[in-house]
Amino acid sequence: MKKALLAVAVAATLPMAAFAWTPQQDVNVIIAYKAGSGTDTGARLLMTMAEKHIGKTVIINNLPGADGKIGWTRLVNSKPDGYTIGFINLPTFTTLANEKNAAFKVSQVVPIANHLNETGVVVVRADSKWQNLNDLVKDAKASGKLRASTNGVKASNHTAAQLLAKSANFEYKAIPYGGTADQLLALRQGEVDFTCAKIADVAKLIAGDKPELRLLGVYDTQRLADYPDVPTLGELGYYDQWYGSARAIVAPAGMPADVLKYWVDTFKTVMSDPEVIEAHKKGGLTMSYMDDKQLGELIKAQDAFARDVISKLY
């Protein structure tokens, strides 16, 4: 009895931080796209460097398929005990969540931190006859038969193609592939005429003395600093707002507050680490950190974008 009372007394004198939740076993991270995809590459870089802060092994679980539905359905249905977190892509996640009979809802995840924001771009093969976006649009209008690869039906790059086609008033054939890596391979192999992706996904393919792809336009309100000669779509009279993808870390809804706080605080620390920032720069990635509250607002905005804009594109 005396020992028990002493333990209580000692505990009462310890700071609350001494009882804060920390992972006691390996952590699973769900990625709804295949290994080697843009999301996977960035996530693996971040999580590899996060391990020293977490103190446990971080296990990447690639669950590709159905444009992200398989992985995200597993994520939202995972036990919210702190040992499973995952990445979502916006607006793809909110787009799929707003479909009729959707497999999951936006409310089934809680925000932790945003990782990356990547601007959308339009590209063709480097040996393509189209030297600029206006030439591509002109031929698309004339034929109505141009083909574009996408990263899945109603996925982010499909939406980008739709934004261009609708704003430029042309028809085309969307060909869905398993992810961004596959859709870019299809373009490189000549299976399609053009594609829309993210700048980080194509950066290496448009660089060097013998680039494989040619950059025709960017989805932004101003030209990208690294590509000052490439016009925005808005300059050419097409879609005039920023569009791209946010890649964010979330957890299954229902996670205890102290557990969620651990992950929010951990990724704030990880993403402010100069070594992590430098590693991303070397990898051609620029982090766009947002805390849980900022990410929560972004998810709400993307949910509205999915309902009010994307739903009218298809």
Q: DSSP labels for 257-268?
A: HHHHHHHHHHHH
Eight-class DSSP state of 205: G
* 178 and 261 together in one domain: no
CATH of the domain at 278: 3.40.190.150
* Cα gap 167→150, rounded to integer Å: 18
Judgement on whether residues 278 and 293 belong to the same structural domain of the protein: yes
Q: Are residues 205 and 140 in the same domain?
A: yes
Residues 106 and 255 in one domain: yes
Residue 19, pLDDT score: 65
Do both 80 and 62 map to the same domain? Answer: yes
| Per-residue confidence (pLDDT) for residue 178, from 0 to 100 | 80
For residues 222 and 124, membership in a common domain is answered with yes
pLDDT value of position 6: 44
How far is Cα 23 from Cα 25, in angstroms, rounded to an integer? 6
Q: Is residue 284 part of a domain?
A: yes
Whether residue 231 has a cis bond before it, omega within 30° of 0: no
**What is the overall mean pLDDT for the chain?**
93
In a domain, 20, yes or no: no
Per the structure, the complete domain to which residue 306 belongs is given by: 26-118+245-312
Listed residues 236, 263, 293: the one ending a domain: 236
Are both 148 and 212 inside the same structural domain? yes
Q: Which residues of the chain have pLDDT under 70?
A: 1-19
CATH number (domain holding residue 124) = 3.40.190.10
Q: Which DSSP category does 231 fall into? A: P
Q: Is the pTM of this model over 0.85?
A: no
Boundary of a domain, candidates 189, 204, 236: 236
215 with 230: CB under 8 angstroms? yes
The number of distinct structural domains making up the chain is 2
Note the pLDDT of residue 13: 45
Give the integer Cα–Cα distance in Å for 140 and 103.
Answer: 35
Instruction: Answer with the one of 182, 214, 236 that is the final residue of a domain.
Output: 236
